[in-house]
Structure 1
Amino acid sequence: MTLAACGSGAQDKGSAKGGAGGAGRGPTTVGYVVVQPTSAAMVTELAARTSAYESSDVRPQVNGIIRRRFFTEGSLVRRGQPLYEIDPRLYRAAVNEAQANLQSARANQEAQRIQAERYKPLAAIEAVSKQEYTNAVATARQATASVAQTGAALETARINLKFTTVPAPITGRIGRSLFTVGALVSASQTDPLAQIQRLDPMFVDIQQSAADMLSLRRSLSQNGIVPTRAVVRLKLEDGSDYGQTGTVEFSEALVNTETGTVTLRASIPNPQGLLLPGMFVRASFAQAINQNAFLVPQQALTRDAKGNATVMLVGANGKVVQKPVTAARTQGTSWVVTSGLNASDKVITQGLNALKPGSQVKAVPANSAQTVAPPKQGDKSGQQGKSQGKAG
């Protein structure tokens, strides 16, 4: 009885397998997406360094000893704010001297003018010689010129006196003071008193190889590639993303002979002061837009041992066609395919396991809902027989 029960179970099990095998011999169901040309940004990621938007050295314009310092090192200073005071006594004395010289010149000018006016009627009646009158007029004019000269000297003295207060040339954050109170400074010295840098916004200097830039310029206006205003995103040295975005302002018109690169300068906001001059960052930005690209889901593209990319398509009569494509970068969850596909191609994205070119498939749109039918009565009997066989 035991052998009979086991034999009956094995027969039912074989019948179940046979039914499954019959179902497996039909065409494989695969999911596909229909691709259409679209616009895809040509994103580039390059090394870059940050630099201050504005940078200015604080320098003395007169000679003297520093008497006072009006700022705190590392603080934010405003344009025109007093930073240092140089001993003004000598320059104030020079202003007083220039004022006295101007008064003397004006007095002399008045005397010479009156004398020339007195000689004029006398020269008309020949009471004085014409030469004496000519000399008087010339002397009066010289006195007028002397007034202008002494007036200019007074203005120069006032300017030098004003230079004894050293103001901030720009608005920004000031660094450490390189000279202390009591130090002797001069207008011809090489070292600045301090340095001010404007850190909001910041410049980002991006280095791109001349060969890549040449290739980009050749591809513009060809194959649907058009230029675009590049939006720059940064990755900091610790690998985190910098929250703000900027734009590329310009690229230099020369190539660095040592590195073979061209510098592109971008401007990016820095309201929190997170970026500092000299920081190393990674800048990603789009220099152009490919208007004839295809976005293919990443799971649909495979690569061989040499790195060549291929996709499976649903061809004529429902047969699988393997096609090589060019896909150098990704955009989100898709590969950007620049060649190898045509509009309305059906790219297989589901059911790719063990799929071979030339296979007959049943193609349905990807992620289509599948209808699950209830099991047939015969299948229930088979399952019951299978269970009984296992039990036996």
Structure 2
Amino acid sequence: MTPEQNTFTPEVAAAMHAELPAVAERTVAAIVVEVPSYTEAFRGDMGRAIENAVRLALGGFLELATATGGADASRPIAPALEGAYALGRGEARAGRPMDALLGAYRVGARVAWRHMSATAVGAGMAVESLARFAELVFAYIDQLSAASVAGHSEQLATSGLVRRRHLERLAGLVLTGGPAYDLVAAAERADWTPPRTLTAVLLPEPWARGALAVLDARTLQAGEDLPGAEPSTERSVLLVPDAEGFGRAALLRALSGRSAVVGPPRPWQEARSSYSRALRAVQLGLAPEGDAAVDTEVRLADLVLRADGEALADLRSQVLAPLDGLGPGPREKLVETLRSWLLHHGRREKVASELFVHPQTVRYRMGQLRELFGNRLDDPQCVLELTLALGAREP
């Protein structure tokens, strides 16, 4: 608009400025009635802040609209724009979506337009100029709305990032076994409600995001530096809340096909031991059966027997020394027969069924073993050592 086309004469501008407080008050009153979610927000300091923001926005518009040389609705003045941006951030901090604020803008634009246009006409603005005036009002509101949306989005992004960092720090503190006081304080900073138990899950990094999507929303994910893990290990650690009993069965189903290793449930402040168990299973090479996750609760014997691989190898060598003179083939058959005989407590039919041989074959092989071991197969200590040595198959 050129200076000649500027319909905001000094008289119109003065009249509108004089009405500004009353228009701001009516605008706020209409917002309280038509946007119920703001009823509480308009009380106290927040209410005064919003009223000031309304006055700032209206004053900014008048300054823009009555500027020499006309008004450019695409360039609202900085203070009003900053105020709208701050309002959007405030809504995000209060945990409210943008719907209420955008609704307030619409109500405010309508009420302000109604009263300001009446004032402008009463002060001498030509009726044919009202369309241009309306265009300026609603374009200005669009700009303020966009600024508030930007502020809201920025606050959500910032607060979300901060919370994710707090959650990662909490997970790291749990995994390193931090003091109870520090754990509780970290949980409060992360706005995280502690569960009864946490269960550690180790799985390849590419599977972590998909797993998180189907697990409890309170599940923690550790950062990149995992205590005790090899630096090159590309694994994620998840700490899943309350996954015991039926919850554990559901957890194992959810992790099917993800190459996961699942530790035992532990009180949440003691979840480091769950992580240690799962990590130990990985380090010992416990492999899943098919797509099923490795459940350390049903692999305890393997974990115990493989805890010291060198000691187990020495035990095998020591207790199986009577077989050293045999060739590889005969030795392997007698070892598997002895293992089955120990695990089935000497029940020949069970041994035969497991080995897919005739019971007489089992009897023959046990005869050979008794010749080689002598009365040691009747010695409880020897039987214990043989059971430990042969209870878990060689990795």
Q: What TM-score, normalized by structure 1, do the two folds share? A: 0.27
Question: Which has more helix, going by share of residues?
Answer: 2
The higher relative CO (CA closer than 8 Å, separation ≥ 6) is in 1
Larger proportion of strand: 1
Q: TM-score, normalised by structure 2?
A: 0.27
Task: Flag the structure with larger Rg.
Answer: 1
